[in-house]
Amino acid sequence: LTDPLVLFMPSGKRGRFPKGTPILDAARELGVYVESVCGGRATCGRCQIEVQEGQFAKHKIVSSLDNISVMGGRERRYVDKRGLADGRRLSCSATIEGDLVVDVPQDTVINAQVVRKSPIERTIERNPAVQLCYVEVDEPDMHKPLGDLDRLKAVLERDWGWEDLLVSQHIIPTVQATLRKGNWGVTAAIHQDLDSSRPTIIALWPGLHNEAYGIACDIGSTTIAMHLVSLLSGRIAASSGTSNPQIRFGEDLMSRVSYVMMNPDGRVAMTKAVRGAVNALVEKVCREGGVDQDNVLDAVFVGNPIMHHLFLGIDPTELGQAPFALAVSGAVHSWGSELGLAINFGARVYVLPCIAGHVGADAAGAVLSEQPHHQERMMLMVDVGTNAEIVLGNSQRVVAASSPTGPAFEGAEITSGQRAAPGAIERVRIDKDTLEPRFTIIGSELWSDDEGFEADAARLGVTGVCGSAIIEVVAEMYLAGIMSEDGVIDGALAARNPRIVADGRTWSYVLHQGTQKILITQTDVRAVQLAKAALYAGIRLLMEKLGIDHVDTIRFAGAFGSFIDPKYAMVLGLIPDCELAEVKAVGNAAGTGALMALLNRDYRREIEEVVRRIEKIETALEPRFQAHFIHAMALPNKVDPFPKLAA
Ligand code: FES
């Protein structure tokens, strides 16, 4: 008779096992990650699974609750004490008695976007770099003079298979007290990132310790975003963000590099500022999630190259000038204590690799999240900031570059530009006949010609235009015939329309006449043209590199991408022609990538390998950049066709 077949979902891994095999053992053998802290003593409750009932034709399995053992003593005791949700069983105690389809509940990870679009849900299979292992250590014996720590290591090897364990130095002085306090039962946190690295005891608690958390953090030049996640369930306990306090040293990246170059203590001050903000955020997410900071055992960081360097305490001066040399491009393995992080003293830190001098670990995180290297179709990913990071490719080849778009897309250097905040104009439409605008402001659901808008406007003010509105208003001005395809505002309209007003020798469009007049000037239009031309020229260079004339799908990463309407991005020629339905905003993809690397160390190896083979292009050195740039100054482009847009 053949042994029963067991199929694990969602991984789809399966195998045959003799009747009576604990389901946890079968999972282990197949490499299915099921958490266990107590080592199968039915006390931690971490190994829960669910049995699916029904016929699974493809796998020829009839799975039913009759094929799993009835609840035995240990499991019963657990249920009496702690309870179990309907349908759940402890896989360390329940055994295989027939064919089974076993669901390993992956507490679904939500990509909590910092924006107002609907969140993206995805499931990340867990294989964290830190595991909790409960053991019961033999009491000391005068006749076997093995040290307490040595007996702990021996039992961790015997019960959990950890060979060749290292021990963090700070644990050693505490071992004896911890063992006695736990009455010889202790929980060790073991860290192993690379399969080839030696596992290390990084924390030790008396008794059964059932909580292990990690943080995934994206350090942006403007905003720092963080998730606090249970390493045992994958559940996000809290997510939050804060503004990067380095802004006081300079709005954009280059001004921060200059600050370091001009001030002897500049680097130290900026490192201190960013680490301080990270620590404040750790405290905040832990408070919100009801988690003791001491239970944070692993941390993953992403950031653009300059943020990456400053966070690690590296002088970013070299990144301010050609050849834009990174101090370190590979992944960084470090310790929370070395970086002054307010988490468990033994906690580890992993920083994703940087792709190039201007394409950072944040872009690597976005690659991990969107997976262009697994696509058949050609995917373009853009993260628009003062410096746009661009990645293009598919399973065959991936190329990356950055483009100096400047701060126009963030609302800086625009007459009435401002950051996205309540009161900022967000959406704009212009009537083609009357040239009258309608708009919305952040904080109100209403359009400016809706009833009740006046009250909202009085409450919030109409304060300026944010980045997404700048794209829309310029595109709408073009569509309404207010300006030519070269971006010149038509002064002849002023004679018959009060919305067009003289502004020195050029013309402006009056978007709003309130206490504060909001104008879109010729200079503003130029700033948008320069920014979009730089972005598009960078994208075209990469397309040329791959020898392609169109892309199949476009992903906008970052907050800015989530606000802009793809249609307007294409009307302006920010991005190449593409099916509109294939242009998607993916929110903080860099943060999602960090989360993936936190929950599953296989993703760390994946991104390290992908980054090694991404071909990097330095736009500043490419002679074709200038030609593409000049063509891209026109709306949408002087030479490149936009057939899908026309359709
Ligand atoms: Fe701890 Fe099953 S492994 S309860």
Strands 236-243 and 398-403, sheet pairing: unpaired
How far, in Å, is the centroid of ligand 1 from the Cα of 179? 21
Of 33, 89, 90, which is best to mutate to test ligand 1, by the most ligand atoms within 8 angstroms of its C-beta? 90
Give the pLDDT score at 107.
57
Q: Are 432 and 384 in contact (CB under 8 A)?
A: no
Segment 427-477, tens digit of pLDDT: 999 999 999 999 999 999 999 999 999 999 999 889 999 888 899 999 999
Query: DSSP assignment of 212-242, as one string?
Result: -EEEEEEE-SSEEEEEEEETTT--EEEEEEE
pLDDT category of residue 117 using cuts at 50, 70 and 90: very low
Segment 600-644, tens digit of pLDDT: 999 999 999 999 999 999 887 888 999 999 999 999 998 888 888
Ligand 1 atom at minimal distance to the Cα of residue 42: 4
Strands 120-122 and 424-430, sheet pairing: unpaired
Q: How far apart are the C-alpha atoms of 422 and 151, rounded to whole Å?
A: 61
Ligand 1 atom at minimal distance to the Cα of residue 48: 2
pLDDT category of residue 122 using cuts at 50, 70 and 90: low
Of 25, 32, 34, 41, which is best to mutate to test ligand 1, by the most ligand atoms within 8 angstroms of its C-beta? 41
How far, in Å, is the centroid of ligand 1 from the Cα of 25? 11
Which contiguous run of DSSP H or E holds residue 307? Answer: helix 305-311
Give the pLDDT score at 553.
96
Give the pLDDT score at 112.
35
Of 34, 44, 80, 233, which is best to mutate to test ligand 1, by the most ligand atoms within 8 angstroms of its C-beta? 44
**Rounded mean pLDDT, 27-54:** 89
Helix pair angle (467-479, 522-546), 10° resolution: 100
45 Cβ closer than 6 Å to some ligand 1 atom: yes
The C-alpha R_g of the chain, in whole angstroms, comes to: 29
Give the pLDDT score at 111.
39
Strands 500-503 and 506-513, sheet pairing: antiparallel
Q: How far apart are the C-alpha atoms of 364 and 371, rounded to whole Å?
A: 10
90 Cβ closer than 6 Å to some ligand 1 atom: yes
Q: How far apart are the C-alpha atoms of 405 and 531, rounded to whole Å?
A: 4
Strands 5-9 and 14-16, sheet pairing: antiparallel
Q: How far apart are the C-alpha atoms of 41 and 160, rounded to whole Å?
A: 13
Query: DSSP assignment of 172-213, as one string?
Result: GGGHHHHHHHTTTEEEEEEE--STTSPPEEEEEEES-----E
Domains and CATH numbers, the chain: 5-103 (3.10.20.30), 130-206 (3.10.20.880), 362-407+531-646 (3.30.420), 416-520 (no CATH)
Q: How far apart are the C-alpha atoms of 85 and 329, rounded to whole Å?
A: 46
How far, in Å, is the centroid of ligand 1 from the Cα of 42? 4
Q: How far apart are the C-alpha atoms of 285 and 540, rounded to whole Å?
A: 41
Ligand 1 atom at minimal distance to the Cα of residue 45: 4
Segment 344-372, tens digit of pLDDT: 999 999 999 999 988 999 999 999 999 99
Helix pair angle (589-599, 361-370), 10° resolution: 80
**Rounded mean pLDDT, 70-84:** 92
Name residue 630's amino acid.
I
Segment 507-549, tens digit of pLDDT: 999 999 887 889 999 999 999 999 999 999 999 999 999 999 9
234 Cβ closer than 6 Å to some ligand 1 atom: no
- 410-449 in b/e form (b: 16+ CB < 10 A) is bbbebbbbbebeebbbbbbbbeeeebebebbbbebeeebe
Q: What is the pTM of this model?
A: 0.87
Q: How far apart are the C-alpha atoms of 9 and 23, rounded to whole Å?
A: 13
How far, in Å, is the centroid of ligand 1 from the Cα of 36? 5
255 CB neighbour count, 10 Å cutoff: 14
Q: Are 612 and 626 in contact (CB under 8 A)?
A: no
2 CB neighbour count, 10 Å cutoff: 5
How far, in Å, is the centroid of ligand 1 from the Cα of 122? 26
- Interacting residues of 623 by C-beta distance below 8 A, sequence separation 6+: none
Q: How far apart are the C-alpha atoms of 41 and 300, rounded to whole Å?
A: 31
Give the pLDDT score at 277.
95
Segment 565-607, tens digit of pLDDT: 888 999 999 999 999 999 988 888 999 999 999 999 999 999 9
Ligand 1 atom at minimal distance to the Cα of residue 35: 3
Segment 241-276, tens digit of pLDDT: 988 888 778 777 778 888 888 888 989 999 999 999
Longest dimension (CA), the chain: 105
Average pLDDT, the chain: 91
What DSSP designation does 69 have?
P
Give the pLDDT score at 60.
82
22 Cβ closer than 6 Å to some ligand 1 atom: no
**Rounded mean pLDDT, 479-496:** 94
Q: Is residue 2 helix, strand or coil?
A: coil
Tokens 């002679």 correspond to: 623
Q: What is the 3-state secondary structure (H, E, C) of 536-580?
A: HHHHHHHHHHHCCCCCCEEEEEHHHHHHCCHHHHHHCCCCCCCCH
